[in-house]
Chain A
Amino acid sequence: MRLWRGRGLTLLAAALLTAHAARAVDPTQLPDPKLQARYETLTHELRCMQCQNESLADSPVDLAADLRHEVRDQLLAGKSDEQIRSWMAARYGDFILFRPRYSLRNAWLWGAPGVLLVIGALASWRIIRQRRVLLAADPQPLEEDNRF
């Protein structure tokens, strides 16, 4: 029991430490938990333009902090997620969005998997049909062929 309690404390301490580490870059707390959740999603979806493989939420640089403030202020002003994303993209380009948007320019990229799937389905359908015809035309079943 004592041992267990000791472990529980260690776990609690570890949990608190990691929670602290997660908040170290960005201690922002919004008054409304719903807004806070949207804030966290948005800052994770937006790229830090200076350290380009990090999100705004993870980046300690100055510009990321400024852009997080911007996200917070716009959320508090009642802007929608889409409005905030567009605001960012109007300044920094679609590159700032980790989750790319559908547009005419990249439509072929979005459509390509579907096109490839259709091509694959057509090809396999043709192969299956050809094999079926061959099988029907075969006068000797496979088992008989294999006899010594």
Chain B
Amino acid sequence: MLFLDLTVQGLVQGAIYALIALGLTLVYGLLRILHVAHAALFTLGGYLGVIITNQTGSFALALVVAMAAVGVIGIGVYRFAYKPLLAHPPLVALIASIGLFIASEEVFRLVFGPYGLSFTDPPLQTQVEILPGIFLSHARLMVIAIAVVFLGLLGWLSASTRTGIAWRATVADPDMARSFGIDVERVRYLNFFIGSALAAAAGVMVALLNNLVEPTMGAVPAYKALAIIVLGGLGSVRGTLVASLALGVIEAFGTIYIGHLLDRDAIAFAFLIIILMVRPQGLLARG
């Protein structure tokens, strides 16, 4: 029973990792940039979620607004931070991204205060017995629901719509796509919007699960999401998904059984190292 319980906990955590890491994988696949500042968008999403819920009393509204606003800001990050640097080696954009992330932590502290914010009346707290002896709060169920719904939508979008096909074409070969009349710039905007909106959703859900948003809450996702996309195979969406869920479950069991030896992050990275030693290209690498 504990075994099943831990697995479920791990999958919930994995779903959160998936929502964050997916945006990172999308940006890498498209532009070969390691978008470290993505974690700042995660944090911003969390803050907006808490502030809007506290002001209006509606969590649903907060989620929608946070996703939309952060999606647009994500486009802004591309437009003003990465686009001017595309002519240079990806390392330059990476440094800019890291700088942006570091600055964002302090901006959040200056704007929102150093103490962190909490919901005045957190929604979705009631427990549901989904399996005998295993209880999940509505909030945790919502994490799974959001992950399934959005990732499903994303899969449908990329496979079955004109926009999605244009997107995949741009990722595969931007010049060829351009010559077919695809507006590469619009595809990039869409890419950043979707990735950032997902990160914002993750931020809002994490805020709800912990009832706390802090300026530094993006610090761990910043590097862990990178580890996840490497683990899954750089640029592979399916790989990112598998790696996220696997990592969530490994951490859940690891923190209980070897927690006195290694802490959660050490366990995550030990797992990464072991997998990469056996399969250096990642779990489900493309091509």
* Chain B binds chain A: no
Instruction: Using CB atoms and an 8 Å cutoff, list the residues of chain B in contact with chain A.
Output: none
